[in-house]
Structure formats: structure tokens, C-alpha cells
Structure 1
Amino acid sequence: MFNSLSEKLGNIANKLRGSARVSEADLDATLREMRMALLEADVALPVVRHLMSEVRERALGAEVAKSLQPGQVIIKILNDALADLLGGQRRDLNLSKIPSVILLCGLQGAGKTTTAGKLARLLIGQGKKVALTSVDATRPAAREQLQVLAGQVDVPYIAGDGASAAAMAKSAVKQAGRDGHHVLILDTAGRQVVDDELMAEIREVAGAVGATERLLVLDAMTGQTALQIAEQFHSAVNMSGCILTKTDADVRGGAALSVAHSTGVPVRYVGTGEKIDAFELFDPQRMAGRILGQGDVVGLVEKIQAGVDEEQAQKAADRLKKGQFDLGDFAEQLGQMQNMGGMASMLKMMPGMKLPQDALDQIDDKPIKRMQAMVYSMTPKERKYPKLMNGSRKRRVAMGSGTSVPELNRMLKQFAQMQRMMKKMKGGKGRRMLAQMMGKFGGMGGGGMPPGMPRM
């Protein structure tokens, strides 16, 4: 999401950085570029006008005139205005009641049911005891789909009793309370279009269970139509937040800006892919920084904390210090990187790492997976002592991993170089040696970038 907008606004920000002087004419030219970038990103025209007015008013103030680096100040102003537009401060869910009921609503096809499973998984990771239920009284298949998802994320599915959606919801909430669940995620029925019957049903369900959170699930691909849908649901049910799905396919991102500003309903989460773990908390301040190419260090740290097994990492560090780092440890480290969303995902969050989107699209994690496959096709002894790898062993490993002997030879050679350097990493030389290691341990072809990185 925001790929196109981030590239264009990031380029504008780069022009401003370090500017010794920014005249009113320069500011007008910059705002025109920003306006075009926002409109092309499918941001609603009233929202664009509001943002440009805010930036211009602040940028013409005394703060910029007195600054030695006016370009940097204008970037900060744009960052703050974007963050305000996206909802201001991050808002966590209100889960003070037991059970707290999170009601999900939205049109059919927006991804409500999948989102219910993803949200459950995220809350489990926060130590919550979660249950799922569906109150779609007309589509048994929707209830069955949620049951399957509940099994995938290892949470109970509660089947509410009753002929109406409200009755099913009340029954499920009572059961969740008896079972001691902290949170009940309630998936409601959807329709192809917004209609009075759907709105009345959702109002009835929300009132019957006293939902602590009412979250609208919106398909980011619908563009400005998402704004109309949000306004209709909000006027009927008073939504407390929204979840944008399919943001990985929406390079423009205008829906998030338009919905948050026009309805006052903050974006709380975003779905970033099809996998059950492709789901993120939405932080307006950090997202604004990412749009302007300033990275997201906090988000990167959180991603590392969620994806890295601390015990494994400590063991690997201890073995590294002793010079015992072997192919098994190496494969584990590659796996940790995959758990963090792969290389492109991490690069986007690094400050100063402003790669064009077409370059990020070229980053391929397949070489990393192929390396892992080679290592896991070896015996534990072969991983520990790579010198055991003779011709017949290599043919066996290549066949078992779906790779070739030349690929295996390259990987073993690169690992041997890396291992030698790691043994030398002592004292003040460590940082320089690590830089050399990253240069030598390049892609499968042996370049100067990590595996899968595009050649620029």
C-alpha cells in the first residue's frame, strides 16, 4: 500500500532536504507536485485540498522562515499533516470487558472472515484468550469457513443458538463468558451492496451484545468507493475503526487517507497479504514516515521481535563467539529472515533505504529458500562438518532439495568464506569484517548484495 504515493512524495522530500532557502514560489511548485501525487493515489479531492491547505499554512509560518534547514522543516510539517490525516495517534482496541466483543462488518468479498482469523491470531500473540463466532444466519458456508479458520489459528469456534443473527450473537457471548474468553470476535453477514436490511441487522446485533469495538472491513482495492461504504456503515452503526484488506495489491493507498479524514473512523489494522500472519497494526505516525521514505524503525524492531526466536538467536550468538557457527545455524537465520516478511519487507522500513518500487519488486527470496532446502536435505553431521560433502553426497542433497550440484557448490563456497570471516570477528575489526562478509556473501551468482537483491 502507498507504494506509488511513497515513491512520488519521497522524491519530493529528497528535493527539499538540505535546501538552504525555500521561497513561496518553491513551496507552490512543491505543493502542486504533492497535489498531483495524492490525486493519482486515488485520494478524494476534498481530502487533498484539506491537506494542501494545512501544509501551506504551516509552511509559511515563522518556524520555517527562522530555520537553517527549511526543507527539513517542511518535510516534518508534511509528515505531521499526513499522520493527522491518517488518524493522529495509534488507537489500541478497548478490551477492558470480559468478554470484549469485537464486531466485524462489511460488504461481501471484503475479507471479513479471513480478517477474523488474522485478528484472532494477532490477539493470541498478545496473550489474549480468543474465540470466534459467525452470526450469518443465511449462509451456512460462511460459518463453516470461519470454523476452518478457527482450527488453523487454534482458537475455539462458538456456534450460537437462535433463529436470528442477534439471538445467535447473544448466545455466543454468554458461552464465551462461561468459558472465560477475554475476546469474542463476531463475524456478521455481508451483502453485495449496502441495503437497509443489512444495516438493521448489524445495528440489532451490535445493540444485543454491547460490542466494545465495531470494526468495518474495507477492501482497499475499491478506491474511493471505500469512502462511500464507510460513510454508510458509520452513519448506521457508529464504527470505532476500520480494517483495510488487500493493501498489498493496492499500490495507491488513497482509501486509507480518504476514509480516516472524511469519516473520522481511524484505520486500526491492515491486511498485507493472503497468509494468516499477513496482518499489521496501523500506526498513523509511523505510516506517514514510511510514505515519506523516512523508514519505520519501531515497526522494524517489532517485526524482528515477533519473527525472531530469542532463545535460538542467543544460542547462535554464543556459537558465533566460539567459532562454532555451522550450516544448521545458518539455515535457522535464513528462516528468521523469512519470518520477518522477507528482505523487501525489511528494506522498506529502514531509514534512508529509498529503493524504487520496481527495484523492490525484483527482490526475490527464492534463493534464500533454495539455500534452506539444500541445508535441510543434509544430515546433521553434514551440516556440522561441510567438508564431508563429497560427490555422491552432493548429488543426493541436490536431488533432495530440487537444486543442482553447481548451486550447492556455490552455497558451500560462500558459507566457507562467511565462516572464515566470522572467526576473525573480534575486537574493533568486527564491524569491518561484517561489511566484508555481506559483500562477499552475495546472491547465488556471487554478487555484492544479499541473496535476491536486484543489481542496481
Structure 2
Amino acid sequence: MFNRLSEKLGDIAHKLRGAARVSEADLDATLREMRMALLEADVALPVTRHLMNEVRERALGAEVAKSLQPGQVIIKILNDALADLLGGQRRDLDLSKIPSVILLCGLQGAGKTTTAGKLARLLVSQGKKVALTSVDATRPAAREQLQVLAGQVDVPYIAGEGGSAAAMARSAVKQAGRDGHHVLILDTAGRQVVDDELMNEIRDVATAVGATERLLVLDAMTGQTALQIAEQFHSAVNMSGCILTKTDADVRGGAALSVAHSTGVPIRYVGTGEKVDAFELFDPQRMAGRILGQGDVVGLVEKIQAGVDQQQAEKAADRLKKGQFDLGDFAEQLGQMQNMGGMASMLKMMPGMKLPQEALDQIDDKPVKRMQAMVYSMTPKERKYPKLMNGSRKRRIAMGSGTSVPELNRMLKQFLQMQRMMKKMKGGKGKRMLTQMMGKFGGGMGGGMPPGMPKM
């Protein structure tokens, strides 16, 4: 999401950053570029006008005129205006009531059922006791699909009883209370289009269960149509937030900017892929920084904390101190990187790492997976003592991992270089040695870049 907008606004911010003087004419030219970038990103015209007026009014103030780095101040103004447009401060869910009912609604095909599973997984990771239920009686197998998802994310599914959606919802809430669940996520029926019958049903369900959160699930790919859908649902049900799905396929991102500003309904989460863990909390401040190419350090740290097994990391650090780093540890570290979303996902969040989207799209994590496959095709003894490997062992490993002997030889050579350097890292020169190690490790796979990185 925001790939095109980020690329263009990032370029504008880069030009401004070093400017020692910014005249009113310079500012107007910059704002014209911004306006075109926003419209091309499918941001609604009234929203674009509001943002441009806001930035211009603040940028012509005394703060910029007195600054020694006016370009930097304008970037900060743009960052703050974008964050305000996206909803201001991050808003967490209200889960004070037990059970707290989170009602999901939206049109068919927006991804409500999948989102219910993803949200449940996220809340469980935060220590909440969660259950799922569906009151969708119109779409074939909707409840069965949610039951399967509940099993995948390891939460119970509660089958509500009753002749109407509201009755089924009431029954499910009572059962969730008896079972001691903290949160009940309630998936409702959708339609191809917004109609009175759908709105009446959702309104009845929300009233019947006293839903603490009413979240609209929107397909980011619908562009400006998402704004109309959001306005219709909000006027009928008074939504407390929305979840944008399929943002990995939406390079423009205009829906996010338009919906948050026009309806006042904050974006709470975004779906970033098909897998159940491809789901993120939405933070307007951090997203504004990412759009302007300033990275997201906090998001990167959170991704690392979520993706890294702390016990494994401590064990690896202890072995590293003792100079015992072997191929098994190496494969584990590669796996940890994959758990964090791969190289491209991490590079996008790093400040100062300005790569065009075309380059990010070329980043391939397959070499990392191939190296893991080679290591996992070895015996425990071979992982610990790589020098044991002769020609026949190498052929067996290459065949077992679907690679070739030359690939295996390259990987072993690079690993041995790493291992030698890590043994030297016990002294005060550790930091310098680590830098050299990373350079040598990448040297055979793309000019000093990590595996899978395109040559620039």
C-alpha cells in the first residue's frame, strides 16, 4: 500500500531536505507535485485539497521563515498533516468489557471471514482469550469457513442458536461469557451491494449484543468506492473503526487517506497478505513516516520482537560468545529473518533506505530458503563439522535439497568465513568484525548485498 505515493512524495521530501531556502514560488511548485501524486494515488479530490491547504497554511508561517533548514520543517509539516489525515493518534480497541464483542461488517468479498481469523490470532498473541462466531446465514459455508479458520489460529468457534442473526449473536455472547472468554469476534453477513435489509440486520445484531467495537472491513482495491461504502455503513451503524484488506495488492493507497478523513472513522488494522499472520496494527504517525520515505523504526523493532524466538536468540548469542556458531545456528538465523517478513519487508521500514519499488520487487528470498534447505539436508554431525563433507556427502545433500554441488560449495565457503570471523568477535573489535562478516557473506551473492538483493 502507498507504494506509488511513497515513491513520489519520498522524492519530493528528498529534494526539500537539503534546501537552504524555500520561497513561496518553490512551495507552490512543491505543492503542485504533491497534489498530482495524491490524485494519482486515488485520493479523493476534497481530501487532497484539504491536505494541500493545510500544508500551505502551516508552511507559510513564521516557523519555516525563521528556520535554518526550512526544507526539513516543511517535511515535518507534511508528515504531521498526513498523520492527521490518517486519523491522528493510534487508537487501540476498547476491550474493557468481558466479554467484549467485536462486530465485523462489510460487503461480500471484502475479506471479513479471513479478517476475523487474523484478528483473533493477533489478540491471542497479546494474551487475550478469544472466540469466534458467525451469524452469516446467507453465504453458503460461511460458518464452516470460519470454523476452519478458528482451528488454524487455535481459538474456539461458538455456534450461536436462534432463528435470526440477532438471536444467534445473543446466544453466542452468552456462551462466550459462560466459557470465560475475554473477546468474542462476530462475523456478520455481507451483500454484493449496500441495501436496507443488510443494514437493518447489522443494526439489530449490534444492538442485541451491545458491540463494544463495530469494525468495517473494506477492500483497499475498491479505491474511491471504499469511501462511499464507508459513509453508508457509518451512517447506519456508527462504525468505531475500519480494517483495510488486500493492501499488499493496492499500490495507490488512496482509500486509506480518503476514508479516515471523510468519515472520521479511524483505520485500526490493515491486512497485508493472504497468510493469517499478514495483519498489522495501523499507526497513523508511523505510516506517515513510511509514506515520506522516513522509515518506521518502531515498526521494525516490533516486527523483530514478534518474529524472533527470544530463547533461540539468547542461545545463539551464548554460542556466539563461545565461538561455537555452526551451520544449525546459521539456518536458525535465516529462519528468523523469514519470520520477520523477509528482506524487502524489513528494508521498507529502515530509515534512509530509499529503494525504488521496482528494486524492492526484485528482492528474492529464494536464495535464503535454498541455503536453509541445504543445511536441513545435512546430518547433525555434518552441521556441526562441515569439514567432514566429501564428494559423496555433498552430492547427497545437493540432491536432498534440490540444489547443486557448486551452490553447496559456495554456501560452505561463505559460512566458514563467517565462522572464522565470529570466533574473533569475543574481543573489543567485535563490531568492526561483524561489519566485515556481513560484507563477506554477501560478497558471493550480489556485491556485498544480502542474499536475494538486486544489483543496483
TM-score by length of structure 2 reads 0.99
- The 4+ residue runs of structure 1 with deviation greater than 4 A are none
CA contact (8 A) 2:135 2:169 kept: yes
Cα offset for 1:444? 6.0
Cα offset for 1:439? 1.2
CA contact (8 A) 2:441 2:448 kept: yes
Cα distance in 1, alignment partners of residues 150 and 430 from structure 2: 47
Cα offset for 1:120? 0.2
What whole-Å deviation, never above 9, does each CA across 1:179-230 have from its counterpart, x for those lacking one?
Answer: 0000000000010000010000000000000000000000000000000000
What whole-Å deviation, never above 9, does each CA across 1:216-264 have from its counterpart, x for those lacking one?
Answer: 0000000000000000000000000000000000000000000000000
Cα offset for 1:18? 2.0
What whole-Å deviation, never above 9, does each CA across 1:134-179 have from its counterpart, x for those lacking one?
Answer: 0012234000000000000000000000111000000000000000
CA contact (8 A) 1:443 1:452 kept: no
The farther-off stretch of 443-452 and 361-370 is 443-452
What whole-Å deviation, never above 9, does each CA across 1:428-451 have from its counterpart, x for those lacking one?
Answer: 422222111111111764631110
| Root mean square deviation of aligned Cα | 0.9
1:438 partnered with 2:443: no
Cα offset for 1:283? 0.1
CA contact (8 A) 2:446 2:455 kept: no
Cα distance in 2, alignment partners of residues 235 and 358 from structure 1: 40
Unaligned residue ranges in structure 1 (runs of 5+)? none
CA contact (8 A) 1:367 1:444 kept: no
Question: Equivalences for 1:215-364 in 2 at 5 Å?
Answer: 215-364=215-364
CA contact (8 A) 1:103 1:213 kept: yes
Q: Secondary structure at the residue paired with 1:131? A: strand
Q: Secondary structure at the residue paired with 1:441? A: helix
Cα distance in 2, alignment partners of residues 212 and 371 from structure 1: 48
Cα distance in 1, alignment partners of residues 37 and 429 from structure 2: 46
1:80 partnered with 2:80: yes
CA contact (8 A) 1:170 1:208 kept: yes
CA contact (8 A) 1:367 1:443 kept: no
Cα distance in 1, alignment partners of residues 389 and 314 from structure 2: 28
**How many aligned residue pairs are there?**
456
Cα distance in 2, alignment partners of residues 344 and 444 from structure 1: 19
1:187 corresponds in structure 2 to 187
What whole-Å deviation, never above 9, does each CA across 1:257-314 have from its counterpart, x for those lacking one?
Answer: 0000000000000000001100000000000000001110000000000000111101
TM-score by length of structure 1 reads 0.99
Cα distance in 2, alignment partners of residues 140 and 72 from structure 1: 55
Q: Secondary structure at the residue paired with 2:355? A: coil
Cα distance in 2, alignment partners of residues 405 and 94 from structure 1: 56
Cα distance in 1, alignment partners of residues 239 and 233 from structure 2: 7
CA contact (8 A) 2:294 2:351 kept: yes
What whole-Å deviation, never above 9, does each CA across 1:33-54 have from its counterpart, x for those lacking one?
Answer: 0000000000000000000000
CA contact (8 A) 1:440 1:447 kept: no
CA contact (8 A) 1:443 1:453 kept: no
Call closer, same or farther: CA 1:33–1:446 in 2, change over 3 Å. closer
Cα offset for 1:423? 1.2
CA contact (8 A) 1:100 1:212 kept: yes
CA contact (8 A) 1:137 1:163 kept: no
